[in-house]
Amino acid sequence: MTVKGPVRGYHHGSLKVALVDAVEQVVRKRGVGHVSLRAVARQVGVTHAASAHHFENKAGLLTAFATQGYVQLAEAVLAAIEEAQPVDGPSVLEAVGRGYVRFALANPGRFEVMFRLDLLNADDPDFAVASDGAYSLLVSTVARCQSEGFLGTNDPEVVAVSAWSMVHGLAALWISGRLGGRISEEDPNRLADRVSRLYVDSVLRAAAH
């Protein structure tokens, strides 16, 4: 009896990474409803048994995919902040908004899955750490705005939630195509800049006067 080596040269760790990465390809081609252990195994070129060895079920696979997304989202936000060289809290918040929208537009499939808690194991420890870590960037930025006197009497939690809702809604609307033909701005990143600046000027800088 001949014992076959690892398919395509994958070793234990790299196959798991490849399977998670393959989720994005399946989502892009066919939609999240078509993601399965069998589908990603086929995408990677391994057997269903190989994918089942790493993930118990579809929820586990999608949770790993979403967890990776939150890590990448945090990286995108931090990159946007570094690029902006902000001088105060409101400037940081503008950059956070830009980074959020840029990530969503560059990764629409992953962005969708990250917020489909009905498909995920929301109590997974790694998922919780990654999602909380991304959210903490927003919370710490709002805290800085408050310490610098930009919140006035506004509740920090409400400021954070409204800022998040604004950029999340903008990203979702653009990805869905619902803004097409309704606005003159054709560059989503430029639109994100303008929307974030409007929020910061209207809510934060106005409160400081």
pLDDT at 1: 35
The gap from C-alpha 57 to its chain's centroid, in whole angstroms, comes to: 22
Checking if the pLDDT of 73 tops 80, the result is yes
Domain 58-205, CATH number (from 3.30.450.150, 3.30.70.20, 1.10.10.10, 1.10.357.10)? 1.10.357.10
Collect all residues with Cβ–Cβ distance below 8 Å to 26 and sequence separation of at least 6: 34, 35, 39, 40, 43
Give me the phi and psi of 208, to 5 degrees please. Answer: -85, -10
- What span, in angstroms and rounded, lies between the C-alpha atoms of 96 and 163? 10
pLDDT digits (tens, 9 = 90+) for 49-72: 888 888 889 999 999 999 999 999
Do residues 19 and 40 lie in contact, with contact meaning Cβ atoms separated by under 8 Å?
yes
Checking if the pLDDT of 5 tops 50, the result is no
Collect all residues with Cβ–Cβ distance below 8 Å to 184 and sequence separation of at least 6: none
- What span, in angstroms and rounded, lies between the C-alpha atoms of 127 and 122? 7
Q: Any idea where the domains of the chain sit in the sequence?
A: 1-55, 58-205
Checking if the pLDDT of 16 tops 90, the result is no
pLDDT at 4: 40
- What span, in angstroms and rounded, lies between the C-alpha atoms of 85 and 98? 13
Confidence of residue 84 (pLDDT cuts 50, 70, 90): very high
Mean pLDDT, the chain, integer: 91
Confidence of residue 98 (pLDDT cuts 50, 70, 90): very high
Nearest to 143 by CA among 209, 167, 135, 129: 135
- What span, in angstroms and rounded, lies between the C-alpha atoms of 27 and 109? 6
Residue 208 host element (H or E) = none
What CATH code is assigned to 1-55? 1.10.10
The vertex-51 CA angle with 62 and 22, nearest 5°, equals 55
Confidence of residue 96 (pLDDT cuts 50, 70, 90): very high
